[in-house]
Amino acid sequence: FGDAYYNETSNGSEDEINFLLDYINGKSDDIARLKDIIAVSPIKPWNILAITFTNKAAGELRARLSNILGEDDAKEVNAATFHSACVRILRREIEKLGYHSSFTIYDSDDSQRVIKSCLSDLNVSEQQFPPKSILSSISKAKDSMLFPKDIVASIGGDFRKSVIAKVYAEYQKRLKSSNALDFDDIIMLTVQLFTDFPDVLEHYQNRYKYILVDEYQDTNHAQFKLVSLLS
C-alpha cells in the first residue's frame, strides 16, 4: 500500500508513507491526518452555499454547523438567506451596474415615500392608484424579473399597466440616483449582474460548487433564476 501511494504521488514523502503503514497496522488513529493525506478534491467549507428563507433559520443553521464542524470551518460556509447572500455579492460587484458599493437598502416605508413622490410628480391620483398597491405591483414584477421596459412592452390598451410602468420607471430612476435598493432589487440586480457579466458569474460558480436551498419549492422566479445561474 505504501509503495503504491508513493508511486502515485509526485510529492509523496517517506514520513507520510510511514504514517499510512502505522495507521494500517493500528499504531495510529489520527483520522484527521489520514484525510489530509489521501483526500482527493476535498470539499472546502467556502465552496458551500446554504440558503434558507428567514434570518432565524439561517442563524439556527450556522449554530448547527458550528457544533458539527467547529467555529472556524463553520464561519467559512455561507449559510444565509437569499437576500443576505446577494447583498454580500452586490457589495463587491454592484459598481458594474452603475451603483456604488455603499448602497442603502430601503424598507417598505422608504419605498412608499418614494412612490408617493413619483405619483405626485407624475400627477397620478393616490386615490386611484394607492402607493401600497403600486408598490405591490412593482414587487411582483421584480419577482418575475420584469423591468419597466418589459411592462411597457406588454401594456397594449391597459391604462393601469401604463401608469404602473411610468411609476415603476421613475421609481427605479430615483432609487438609483439615491444609490439605494429596495428589498426586491437585491435579488433582481444580482441576477442581472450574473446575466450581463459572465465573468462575474463564473467567479461565483467556481466559488459555490455545492448549493443547498431550504424549501426550494417556495422559490419565486427571480430566486429560481439565481440558483439556476449559479448551478
**pLDDT averaged over every residue in the chain:** 91
Q: What whole-number distance in Å separates Cα of residue 98 and Cα of residue 205?
A: 23
Q: In the predicted model, what is the mean pLDDT of residues 23-44? A: 87
Q: What whole-number distance in Å separates Cα of residue 195 and Cα of residue 229?
A: 8
Set of cell numbers at residue 107: 424598507
Burial class for 224, CB neighbours closer than 10 Å (0-12, 13-18, 19+): middle
Closest-CA residue to 24 (of 9, 5, 43): 5
Q: What whole-number distance in Å separates Cα of residue 67 and Cα of residue 70?
A: 6
Q: Is the pLDDT score of 9 beyond 70?
A: no
Per the CB < 8 A criterion, the answer to whether 169 and 175 are in contact is no
**pLDDT tens digits, residue range 97-122?**
999 999 999 999 999 999 999 999 99
Q: Is the pLDDT score of 5 beyond 70?
A: no
Closest-CA residue to 189 (of 91, 118, 107): 91
Q: Is the pLDDT score of 58 beyond 90?
A: yes
Closest-CA residue to 198 (of 188, 206, 209): 206
Per the CB < 8 A criterion, the answer to whether 165 and 151 are in contact is yes
**pLDDT tens digits, residue range 166-192?**
999 999 999 999 999 999 999 999 999
